[in-house]
Amino acid sequence: MNVSVVIPTLNEERQIAACLRSVRQAGATEIIVADGGSTDQTVMLAQDHAQVIEAPRGRAAQQNAGARRATGDVILFVHADCRLTTTTVEKAATMFRSDESVVAGCFHQHIDHSAWKYGLVAAGNAWRVRCLGWAYGDQGICVRRVAFEQAGGFPDLQFMEDLFLMKQLKRRGRIRLLDASIIVSARRWEKRGLLRQTLRNLSLVTAAQLGISPNRLARFYPNER
């Protein structure tokens, strides 16, 4: 079972090299970087190690563009500030090969910071997947190509495209938390403050659940890159 990795990028010159090294070491069948118009060295750094395509800016559009180019039976979406561990690709392929009821999955987070509070964040995110079936992009969403296409890909949203994709996939089969880890940069928590960032995330998800459009909510979650 072939696994294609799709990485959306925008001005990620500080992160992309480490991300791509980890994906190669994990044994991905192919790597596609979908760039949304970087003005730094991201594209140059990625070109020697991945297929690089241009896409309209926005994670949903970029990831959909990458998925259209991908040839694998499974598509693994990885954010540029994340790194795969050596077993992630193998674990994903084995899961889909052994259980046809599973349509998507994600990984345990290891947030790249020594403070104990980040372990609590990762544990809470794992609980969300187990109880609700909601995986977020920084957990490494892996999905069967067929299920992804049946769900219509990532919805055309400026924000929370990962959450709304998972809701669509949950109607089509099981969502699993795999026994493998993805390493996540702590940069956004460090920049905004862990408590502030966590409360903002909860507030925005709650607002979306109450019916407020994610496109309206996007202004409260600026992309500082």
Average pLDDT of the chain, as a whole number: 93
Question: Where residue 221 falls among pLDDT bands split at 50, 70, 90?
Answer: confident
Residue 153 to residue 128: CA distance in whole angstroms: 22
Q: Which domains can be identified in the chain, with CATH numbers?
A: 3-190 (3.90.550.10)
Residue 142 burial (10 A CB sphere; 0-12, 13-18, 19+) = buried
Q: Is the predicted pLDDT of residue 89 greater than 80, yes or no? A: yes
Rounded to whole angstroms, what are the CA distances from 165 to 150, 152, 179?
11, 9, 22
Pick from 99, 31, 77, 97: which is nearest to 182 by CA? 77
Residue 128 to residue 136: CA distance in whole angstroms: 10
User: Against a cut of 0.85, is the pTM above it?
Assistant: yes
Residue 141 to residue 76: CA distance in whole angstroms: 6
* pLDDT, tens only, 168-200: 999 999 999 999 999 999 988 888 788 888 888
* pLDDT, tens only, 126-152: 999 999 999 999 999 999 999 999 999
Provide the pLDDT for residue 222: 65
Give yes or no for a contact between 58 and 51, defined as CB atoms under 8 angstroms apart: no
Provide the pLDDT for residue 194: 82
Q: Is the predicted pLDDT of residue 224 greater than 70, yes or no? A: no
